[in-house]
């Protein structure tokens, strides 16, 4: 049974169309990156999934209608937003007490074990913690909940590189077990590419791409063409050409690897470059 099914999902705020006929299916045990520019509809989609906003169309999450069955749904779902909203006056031990008291699936021992690997003191108040520590505390609370679905909306926004890496390492090492499902939205595309099993590109409220990572790696290929093979490369109809240190790199959709290998060095396209190719203008860029 699918964890999430959306059919013709639509949401409008006045004249602004936030979701425009989104169709999406997420299977259990997947890590899905939902990627798009600002205003693409990512946060609106997540709010709909979490039962925070009603939408037209059909939406089922863990067998529930998020808007009408939110209480039931939230016993199986956890959420981390771009800003970990916690009372600034609360102490760490009090936050642990609170979650233990309100969530039946919270494992306090697991949260304590995660916090033991940080510099967070149990008697510290949230206002005394750095942004990175607040994120670590939030993650400790969430990872200790036996949820089937974890929704992450820009969870590392404002954190430095070390904290971001530690966050995703903890996510994979301490939370994801191959059975839970994770939806993650971030602008740091390169940092999550290696953890994703699936990717969804959203733009102007529409799904531009919905694919498994292994299919993308076989379908979209880049070639750093030899100087004497540029015309031949362009003749094969690349979806993007860019310049890097004076060399031309072409991105192809579905071209045979054997054919591309005659033009130059072939590699799987990076997720960020694919995002620019599918979302941005078809122009040649210099780097």
What domains can be seen in the chain, in order of their start residue?
4-204 (3.40.50.300), 216-286 (no CATH)
Q: Which residue has the higher pLDDT, 183 or 156?
A: 183
Residue 26 has pLDDT above 90, yes or no: yes
- Candidates 55, 50, 47, 49; CA nearest to 21 is 55
- Go through the chain and tell me how many residues it has: 287
**Each residue's pLDDT tens digit, 73-125:** 988 998 887 666 788 999 999 999 999 998 888 999 999 998 998 899 999 99
- Candidates 155, 131, 139, 138; CA nearest to 82 is 155
Say what percent of the chain tops pLDDT 70: 96
User: Which residues, 6+ apart, have CB-to-CB distance to 163 below 8 Å?
Assistant: 132, 135, 136, 156
User: Which residues, 6+ apart, have CB-to-CB distance to 80 below 8 Å?
Assistant: 135, 138, 139, 142, 150, 151, 152, 153, 155
Cβ–Cβ < 8 Å for 253, 221: no
| 3-state SS, residue 205 | coil
Cβ–Cβ < 8 Å for 181, 175: no
Q: Per the structure block, which two tokens stand in for 10?
A: 């639509």
Q: What average pLDDT does the chain have? A: 89
């Amino acid at each position: 049974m699918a964890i999430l099914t959306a059919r013709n999902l639509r949401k409008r705020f006045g004249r602004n169309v936030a979701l425009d006929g989104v169709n999406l299916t997420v299977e259990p045990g997947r890590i899905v990156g939902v990627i798009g520019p600002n205003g693409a509809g990512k946060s609106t989609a997540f709010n709909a999934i979490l039962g925070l906003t009603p939408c037209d169309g059909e939406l089922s999450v863990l067998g529930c209608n998020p808007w009408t069955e939110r209480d039931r749904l939230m016993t199986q779902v956890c959420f981390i937003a771009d800003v970990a909203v916690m009372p600034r006056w609360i102490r760490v031990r009090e936050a642990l007490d609170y979650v233990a008291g309100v969530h039946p699936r919270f494992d306090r021992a697991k949260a304590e074990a995660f916090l033991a690997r940080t510099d967070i003191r149990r008697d510290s108040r949230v206002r005394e913690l750095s942004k990175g520590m607040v994120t670590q505390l939030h993650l400790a609370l969430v990872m200790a909940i036996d949820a089937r679905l974890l929704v992450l909306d820009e969870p590392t926004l404002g954190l430095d590189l070390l904290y971001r890496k530690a966050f995703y390492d903890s996510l994979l090492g301490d939370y994801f077990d191959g059975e839970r499902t994770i939806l993650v939205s971030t602008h740091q595309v390169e940092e999550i590419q290696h953890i994703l099993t699936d990717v969804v590109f959203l733009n102007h409220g529409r799904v531009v791409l919905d694919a498994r990572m292994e299919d993308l790696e076989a379908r979209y290929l880049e070639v750093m063409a030899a100087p004497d093979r540029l015309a031949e490369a362009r003749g094969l109809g690349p979806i993007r050409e860019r310049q890097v240190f004076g060399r031309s790199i072409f991105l192809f959709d579905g071209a045979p690897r054997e054919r591309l290998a005659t033009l130059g060095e072939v590699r799987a396209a990076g997720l960020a470059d694919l995002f620019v190719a599918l979302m941005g203008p078809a122009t040649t860029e210099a780097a």
